[in-house]
Structure 1
Amino acid sequence: MTSRALILALTATLSAASPAVAVVGGTVSRGVDGPRAWTLRVETSRGELCSGAAIAPELVLTAAHCLMGGGAVRVVSLDARFRSRTHPVISVLPHPSFVPGTTPRTQPGTDLAVLRLSRPLPADIEPLSLGSGLSQGETVTMAGFGLSVENNKGTARRLREARLVNAGNYTTSNTVKVAVDTQAMGEAPGAGACRGDSGGPVLRGTASSRDLVGIVSWSSGPLNSRVRRICGGFTAITPISDHRAWITEASGRLLALGGDARQEAPVPPRASYSWWFSR
């Protein structure tokens, strides 16, 4: 099946689409200098779990929908021995076009947010550079702390990575890139995002790349699945190149706040959506 046909066929699977949570069909990330050095956990006091990407010593890029449940936000990094370290978040800035109360798939705005930490990340965390446009057919590597077994939350909070291929653009209310397993190609169960992977980094090429080309937003199951799945088929990615200007401007605004910034936790909308809690 061609990439264009895959994108058209994806329409039939969207009833089972969900915010991305954990890497299904991927591998545990073990390299000290790999995704560990820039992939972070994003957690809220309301129990939400997502992933994020370090883009500066005090800044983290993630998916805006991860923050819509309200509550205090914190970031967790892994040290060189893969032990967890907690970092308080003092300010949250979602993309101005983001509309609370929608699902990631039906989001008419941009599913991005920048977080400002109370102090710089440890020196062993290496912020990523903002990459250029992603072409159809390019391979990418995604990483996240989501589920490795769909509907089993006990498999979350372990860093995993997976190689995918960009199948092209997909447009509903907004436009995202859609990536699929390099072998299954979205037709059969394969590697891809799952619950908890939302906000995770997508790098151009291999896991050793430092070129951030996207942030995971949502996922859906494969085309030829006999059971309802929300993971292991298509991974929807918010492209960095389309929003580089806003990311740069938002980063400057948050850094200009200085050390006296205070977290502005989003107020939960009436129809707030959590991919983590959804069934």
Structure 2
Amino acid sequence: MVGDAPPASASIARHVVMIVGSHGTSCTGTLISQSVVLTAAHCVQPGSDYKLVRFDAARNPTLLPVATIARHPGFEMAALLGHRATADVALLKAESPLPASFAPAPLARRTEIAVGDAFTVAGMGVAVRGDGRSGGTVRAASLVATGQPGSLQLRLVDAATKGEQPGRGACTGDSGAPAFAEEDGRLAVAGVVSWSTGPKLTAGCGGLTGVTPLSRYRSWIAEAAQKLGTRLAP
């Protein structure tokens, strides 16, 4: 999460995990039950093995094996690469439940989003583009909806820079991260991060943060979680 995004509060960080792949990929995910993580479909590719990563207070990592992956059958990589809407959602089930220091987050119920609506995006990606060592900490950015928000895709931006100058936003390693919205006094997952741009739609980070909303996929997520032997957080 670039743009001097601060470390996330403890209440947000306990929902978020890092996902690493055997081919060197890194993404972010959200715990939606004590053993199931929601992430982006493009983060889990056939032929790779994945592990969840948790860090202790001294920043020492522990790898947690992933037992099963469910990727939405409607996902299309070509659409994602063109920053077009697609079913960019997937679930990973850990071999064993995550420790009690983690807590599942509920899915948002909202279906309508307007320009200017506020979201908190929390990811474990790099804080400085190109510096892999700057990742691994849950950082949060307050962003707002811009453009023509709908049920297929959201484009979020730093309200202070509006995507015209470098600002806060998702970067490498933040794919799959949650976009939280406040509902009934608590944060709920309204979408997952799919892509990012630099200012003025250039390549990079700190411009737009592209998010796949969950409103169209909530039923698939619930059914897939049930097949994985778990229920979503209420």
- Does the 8 A contact of 2:194 with 2:212 survive in 1? yes
- Residue 164 of structure 1 corresponds to 143
Q: Distance in 2 between matches of 1:28 and 1:69?
A: 34
- Residue 244 of structure 1 corresponds to 218
Q: Distance in 2 between matches of 1:53 and 1:231?
A: 21
Q: 2:86 aligns with which of 96, 105, 109?
A: 109
Q: Distance in 1 between matches of 2:222 and 2:57?
A: 29
- Does the 8 A contact of 1:45 with 1:72 survive in 2? yes
Q: Distance in 2 between matches of 1:44 and 1:163?
A: 28
Pair 1:255-2:229 in alignment: yes
- Give secondary structure in 1 for the equivalent of 2:42: helix
Shift of residue 71, structure 1, vs aligned partner: 1.6
- Does the 8 A contact of 1:220 with 1:233 survive in 2? yes
Pair 1:151-2:130 in alignment: yes
Q: Distance in 1 between matches of 2:47 and 2:77?
A: 11
- Does the 8 A contact of 1:98 with 1:108 survive in 2? no
Pair 1:139-2:113 in alignment: no
- Give secondary structure in 2 for the equivalent of 1:255: coil
- Does the 8 A contact of 2:3 with 2:169 survive in 1? yes
Shift of residue 145, structure 1, vs aligned partner: 1.1
Q: Which ranges of structure 2 fall in alignment gaps of 5 or more residues?
A: none
- Structure-2 change in CA distance of 1:247 and 1:30 (3 Å): closer
- Give secondary structure in 2 for the equivalent of 1:249: helix
- Give secondary structure in 2 for the equivalent of 1:93: strand
- Give secondary structure in 2 for the equivalent of 1:43: strand
- Does the 8 A contact of 1:116 with 1:255 survive in 2? no
How many residues are matched?
227
- Does the 8 A contact of 1:129 with 1:211 survive in 2? yes
Q: CA RMSD in A?
A: 2.5
Q: For residues 206-245 of structure 1, what are the structure 2 equivalents within 5 Å?
A: 209-223=186-200, 228-245=202-219
Q: Distance in 2 between matches of 1:90 and 1:69?
A: 14
Pair 1:181-2:155 in alignment: no
Looking at both structures, which has the greater relative contact order when contacts are Cα pairs under 8 Å and sequence separation is at least 6? 1
Q: Distance in 2 between matches of 1:26 and 1:236?
A: 19
- Residue 9 of structure 2 corresponds to 31
Q: Which ranges of structure 1 fall in alignment gaps of 5 or more residues?
A: 1-22, 257-279
Shift of residue 233, structure 1, vs aligned partner: 0.5
Q: Determine which structure has more spread, i.e. the larger CA radius of gyration.
A: 1
- Structure-2 change in CA distance of 1:79 and 1:254 (3 Å): same
Shift of residue 86, structure 1, vs aligned partner: 2.2
- Residue 35 of structure 2 corresponds to 58
Q: Distance in 1 between matches of 2:148 and 2:85?
A: 15
> AA paired with 1:85?
T
- Does the 8 A contact of 2:145 with 2:155 survive in 1? yes
Shift of residue 104, structure 1, vs aligned partner: 4.0
Q: For residues 49-128 of structure 1, what are the structure 2 equivalents within 5 Å?
A: 49-68=26-45, 70-79=47-56, 83-100=60-77, 103-106=80-83, 109-128=86-105
